Structure 1
Amino acid sequence: MNRFLKLVHFEFHRFLKLYLVLMGITILLQMIGVIVESRNYVNRANQLIYKEYMPMEQFIEQYGTYSFMQMVHSFWFMGPITLCIAALLIYVFFIWYRDWFGKSTFIYRLFMLPTSRLNVYFAKGAVIFLLILGLLALQLVLIPLENRMLQLMVPKEYLDVLTVNQIMKVDYLSILFPPSFIEFLLTYGGGMTAVFIVFNAILFERSYRMKGIVFGILYCACSLFIFLAPILVDSFILKNYFYPLEILFMEIGTGIIVLAGAIWTGNYLLKNKVRV
């Protein structure tokens, strides 16, 4: 366990500078966005009401009140989140290929460490998960702060005050922040299973080179088919025979099978096939 934790710390530290940049961009853009968007709304209200003498009721009827909901759907808020997601998706590949194609072929030293190669595999997965949790935690801190900033900058007569719980129910935020712990486990457990599947596709390529690309694509397709098998069978063969809860339990079962298969496959490739 101590060696595994050291590997996790080492892998995390390698991404730390870029990670801090991503967090800084998120904080900066979202804070700027609150200021810019709220000022634009207030300036428009002042222009129309106090200079063009539009009745306040007409302004509100035409433009609506302002709430954090508009902020959530703006570039200032969605942009940094999209950037972080894209960066982590790229890093799922980079976390392996950097070890092969860096200045020195670091994968040699990594695989010669006095620990199981599977620990290297799990450490890289654990780092991805920790990076995700860190960005989620940052967003959980920012949303109440930004919501409060908005309330201070927009006059009460133009403001529709939302609670944090109401904000979290917005479309994509409800996916990033599932409302229950069970849903969180299902969402991010499925996400980490997908990460391990991509890890294995990379290891197939590193084991068999050009053939490995084909093997990796077939492996990903096979894993997806197994995971979706209950839905496909229910939809096209049994014609909606199962209840939604039964489908959910079967999906959990196939998800566990796919995850176990991914770990076994990764361990097999690391021990017997991967080229260093």
Structure 2
Amino acid sequence: MKTYLKLVNFEFNRCAKLYAVLIGMTVVSQLIAVFAASRGYINQLNEALYQNKIPKAQFLSETGEISMFEVVNNVWFYLPIVICITAILFYSFFIWYVEWMGKNTFIYRLLMLPTSRMTIFWSKLTTIALMIFGLVSIQLILLLIESQLLEVLVASEFRLDLSVRQIIEVSLYLSILLPKSFVSFVSYYGVGFTLLFLSFTAILFERSFRLKGLIMGLIFGGTLFLLFGSPVIAREFFGFDWLYPGEILVIEVVLGILVIAISSWVSHYLLHKRVTV
């Protein structure tokens, strides 16, 4: 456990600068989205009321109040979310290959640690998980701050206040990152972490057998992912609708656990018997 925690700390410190940049970019960009949306609305309001002499009631009936809906659908708001997702996907691969870079490859030292080599696997997986849930937590806090900021920038008579749950529901990106129900949470993040396990195993195949291993890894990952998604595939593409949604979810959870177990076992084998430096 001590070695595992040290490795997690090491891995997280290694990506700390990148992580700080992602957080800073998200905070700045989304605050710009609040200011941009509110400024645009206020300019529109001033033009209507003071230049075109449109009554306030008529403006509200035609244009409506501003809300966080305008903010979360602003490009300044969702662009950093897309960038963060892309960066984490890239780093999920880079976190392995960085060990083989340079003249004195660090993988030698890691593989010679007096502990199970799977500790390396779990520490990297934990680091990615911490990055994901850390960014999700920060996004939730940002929504609260942004809602308060919008209240300061726009008078209440021209503003429609939304709860955090309502804000999440009006954004495609937020509804995926912050599911409104436990079932949705299990579905979205279950698929994500299953793919992460399979990706890690595919990388270990490539590190073990090089080009041939890359093909083996793609076949292995694709086959297990098809197994994982087989209930949904059978329903959507072949019309097998004899299961209720709740039953499909249970089967998916069981298959997900099975796929993760197989992926972990194969990764254990590759790390201990096949990975070369």
TM range (shorter): over 0.9
Q: For 2:20 and 2:236, how far apart are their aligned partners in 1? A: 45
| Residues 193, 259 of structure 1: 8 Å contact kept | yes
Task: Classify 1:232/1:187 alpha carbon distance in 2 versus 1 (closer, same or farther; 3 Å).
Answer: closer
- Structure 1 stretch 99-108 or stretch 89-98: which is displaced more? 99-108
If the length of structure 1 is used for normalisation, what is the TM-score?
A: 0.94
If the length of structure 2 is used for normalisation, what is the TM-score?
A: 0.94
What SS does the corresponding residue of 1:160 show, helix, strand or coil? coil
Q: For 1:132 and 1:184, how far apart are their aligned partners in 2? A: 13
Q: For 2:31 and 2:233, how far apart are their aligned partners in 1? A: 45
| Residues 200, 265 of structure 1: 8 Å contact kept | yes
Query: Any residues of structure 2 matched to 1:53-68 within 5 Å, and which?
Result: 53-68=53-68
Query: Any residues of structure 2 matched to 1:18-37 within 5 Å, and which?
Result: 18-37=18-37
| Residues 34, 150 of structure 1: 8 Å contact kept | yes
- Structure 1 stretch 236-245 or stretch 147-156: which is displaced more? 236-245
Query: Any residues of structure 2 matched to 1:208-227 within 5 Å, and which?
Result: 208-227=209-228
Does 2:199 correspond to 1:195?
no
Q: CA deviation at 1:239?
A: 2.9
| Residues 125, 192 of structure 1: 8 Å contact kept | no
Query: Any residues of structure 2 matched to 1:95-174 within 5 Å, and which?
Result: 95-102=95-102, 104-170=104-170, 171-174=172-175
Q: CA deviation at 1:236?
A: 5.8
- Structure 1 stretch 51-60 or stretch 119-128: which is displaced more? 51-60
- Structure 1 stretch 239-248 or stretch 22-31: which is displaced more? 239-248
Report the equivalent of 1:12. 12
| Residues 200, 262 of structure 1: 8 Å contact kept | yes
Q: For 1:98 and 1:78, how far apart are their aligned partners in 2? A: 29
Q: For residues 147-202 of structure 1, what are the alpha-carbon distances to aligned partners after superposition, in whole Å with 9 as ceiling and x for unaligned? A: 01101111222211111121122333122112234543443233222111101111
Q: For residues 120-146 of structure 1, what are the alpha-carbon distances to aligned partners after superposition, in whole Å with 9 as ceiling and x for unaligned? A: 001000000001111011111111110
Report the equivalent of 2:87. 87
Identity, % of aligned positions: 45
- Please, what is the CA RMSD of the aligned residues? 1.6
Counterpart of 1:118, as a letter, is M
- Structure 1 stretch 57-66 or stretch 229-238: which is displaced more? 229-238
Q: CA deviation at 1:237?
A: 6.0
- Structure 1 stretch 235-244 or stretch 166-175: which is displaced more? 235-244
Equivalent pairs, count: 276
Q: CA deviation at 1:13?
A: 0.4
Gaps of 5+ in 1: none
Q: CA deviation at 1:112?
A: 1.0
Q: For 2:102 and 2:76, how far apart are their aligned partners in 1? A: 34
Q: For 2:142 and 2:150, how far apart are their aligned partners in 1? A: 12
Task: Classify 1:40/1:236 alpha carbon distance in 2 versus 1 (closer, same or farther; 3 Å).
Answer: closer
- Structure 1 stretch 97-106 or stretch 254-263: which is displaced more? 97-106
Counterpart of 2:21, as a letter, is V
Counterpart of 2:249, as a letter, is L
